Amino acid sequence: MTRWYEDISPGDTLPLGSHTFTQEEIIEYNLQYDNQYFHTDPELAKHSHFGSIIASGWHTALVGQRKLVDGLFAEEEKLRDEGREPGVSGPSPGINRMSFITPVRPGDTVEFELKVTDKRPSRSLPGWGLLFNRMKAVNQNGEVVYVAEFVGFTKLRDFRPTIRQRIMMWAARIPLLRKLLKR
Amino acid sequence: MTRWYEDISPGDTLPLGSHTFTQEEIIEYNLQYDNQYFHTDPELAKHSHFGSIIASGWHTALVGQRKLVDGLFAEEEKLRDEGREPGVSGPSPGINRMSFITPVRPGDTVEFELKVTDKRPSRSLPGWGLLFNRMKAVNQNGEVVYVAEFVGFTKLRDFRPTIRQRIMMWAARIPLLRKLLKR
């Protein structure tokens, strides 16, 4: 979400559009990153558990990530068009769970969506909040193919640091002090 | 792990080698999949939280996945060279947790390692076991940059299905019955 932490509520949803996974794309992606036969070899994959090649879960997740970033940029532009100032979203400390539920097969069209499930101010980064988002991908038959629980930083608009926070934030700019503070 | 389920024990470790993340590679990867300025724009990134561009966590994870697959293939070849029959590893139903702990910066050399943490027979797929593996990546300063808990299927060598399992496995080959069984 590119809005400020204060403007984001659990339940907010960002539709991210769809992507069709062609056989060529699946093979090309997996030759590079996940070259197991059930991702790259249509003939051998006929004898696999799935009966055809399937997209690597990583591939589905990465297409989703690109959709997500594009969606955030589009939201930012929309806010500017409306004369509103977009917030600042930061990096992600991780992903709590990624599940690949239904195989993605060549020709499948998958629809991605991000939904805010929870938020709280960050304990380690003053001025930032943590967003918990649920990524969901659904194929053309309505089957969920992939869900993931993302954690992301987003900035607070109305942040007034305490004196202690001011000192910590200033100290964190000095590499040696940053290392000490981390302990 | 490319060995049979029975031959794999918690604590088994597979070293996966290292990778140096160049600035060019980081930018190229992220222009494609995660085009946020702190991943793609060295000038703007100077003003970011990190003070330089950093690899996307996805990029680190995907380099790790490629290392993992290469490591599995190498293990398989080694087993064959020793005259042993490799096991069959299957797809992954998901990842329980992915954490990006320390940023990966241009020039960093990151060492990957997979460690088995637990295993149990699959409840949903007769003849297969579930492996719980911990992926860990450490940079040249000994800092952990990335950890993830992978779940993967691997085949049992000594599987004798019960009559009930035989019927279920046979029925699952028929698409319509498979759908009914899934419910």
Give the pLDDT of residue B160: 79
**Chain A residue closest in CA terms to B145:** A93
Average pLDDT over chain A reads 89
**Is the CB of A151 inside 8 Å of chain B's CB atoms?**
no
Give the pLDDT of residue B15: 96
Return the bridge partners of B119, or none.
Answer: B131
Residue of B21 and A179 predicted with greater confidence: B21
Give the pLDDT confidence of A106-148 residue by residue, as tens digits.
Answer: 999 999 999 999 999 988 888 899 999 999 999 999 999 999 9
For A178, the token pair is 């940053």
> Which one of A33, A54, A97 has the shortest CB-CB distance to B97?
A97
Per the domain annotation, does B133 fall within a domain? Answer: yes
**Is the CB of A169 inside 8 Å of chain B's CB atoms?**
no
**Is the CB of B90 inside 8 Å of chain A's CB atoms?**
yes
Residue A163 has pLDDT above 50, yes or no: yes
Pairs of residues, one from chain A and one from chain B, whose beta carbons lie less than 8 Å apart: 79
Q: What percent of chain A has pLDDT over 70?
A: 92
Contact B97 A99 (CB under 8 A): no
- Whether B26 contacts B53, CB under 8 Å: yes
Give the pLDDT of residue A33: 84
Give the pLDDT of residue B21: 97
Sign (positive or negative) of CA dihedral A128, A112, A99, A38: negative
> CA nearest B67: which of B141, B5, B138?
B138
Read off the CATH number of the domain in which A92 is found. Answer: 3.10.129.10
Per the domain annotation, does B168 fall within a domain? Answer: no
Give the pLDDT of residue A5: 93
Domain of residue A149: give its range: 5-182
Per the domain annotation, does B78 fall within a domain? Answer: yes
**Chain B residue closest in CA terms to A64:** B33
Contact A58 B65 (CB under 8 A): yes
Residue of A68 and B169 predicted with greater confidence: A68
For A39, the token pair is 């991702």
Give the pLDDT of residue A178: 61
Give the pLDDT of residue A183: 47
Give the pLDDT of residue B1: 72
Strand order in the sheet with A128-138: A13-20, A109-121, A128-138, A144-155, A94-100, B94-100, B144-155, B128-138, B109-121, B13-20
pLDDT category at A31 given cuts 50, 70, 90 is: confident
Contact A32 B66 (CB under 8 A): yes
Give the pLDDT confidence of B43-74 residue by residue, as tens digits.
Answer: 988 888 788 999 999 999 999 999 998 998 89
Residue A87 has pLDDT above 50, yes or no: yes
Burial A16-48 (b: 16+ CB within 10 A, else e): bebbebeeeebbebbeebbbbebbbbeeebeeb
pTM of the model: 0.83
What's the mean pLDDT in A54-66? 93
> CA nearest B95: which of B75, B65, B66?
B65
Integer Cα distance of A16 and A181 in angstroms: 39
Per the domain annotation, does B35 fall within a domain? Answer: yes
Q: How many domains does chain B fold into?
A: 1
Give the pLDDT of residue B180: 61
Residues of chain B with pLDDT under 70: 169, 172-183
Residue A37 has pLDDT above 90, yes or no: no
What's the mean pLDDT in A35-62? 89
**Chain B residue closest in CA terms to A127:** B49
Q: By three-state DSSP, how is residue A21 classified?
A: coil
E strand or H helix at B61: helix B57-81
Give the pLDDT of residue B172: 66
Integer Cα distance of B112 and B101 in angstroms: 14
For A58, phi then psi, to 5°, come to -60, -40
Give the pLDDT of residue B120: 95
Contact A91 B54 (CB under 8 A): yes
Chain B residues with CB inside 8 Å of A65's CB?
33-34, 56, 58
Per the domain annotation, does B36 fall within a domain? Answer: yes
Give the pLDDT of residue A181: 57
CA–CA distances in Å: residue B76 to residues A72, A116, B90, B117: 43, 43, 14, 20
Complex ipTM above 0.90? no
Give the pLDDT of residue B93: 86
What's the mean pLDDT in A136-165? 90
Give the pLDDT confidence of A89-107 residue by residue, as tens digits.
Answer: 877 888 999 999 999 999 9
Integer Cα distance of B85 and A165 in angstroms: 60
**Is the CB of B117 inside 8 Å of chain A's CB atoms?**
no
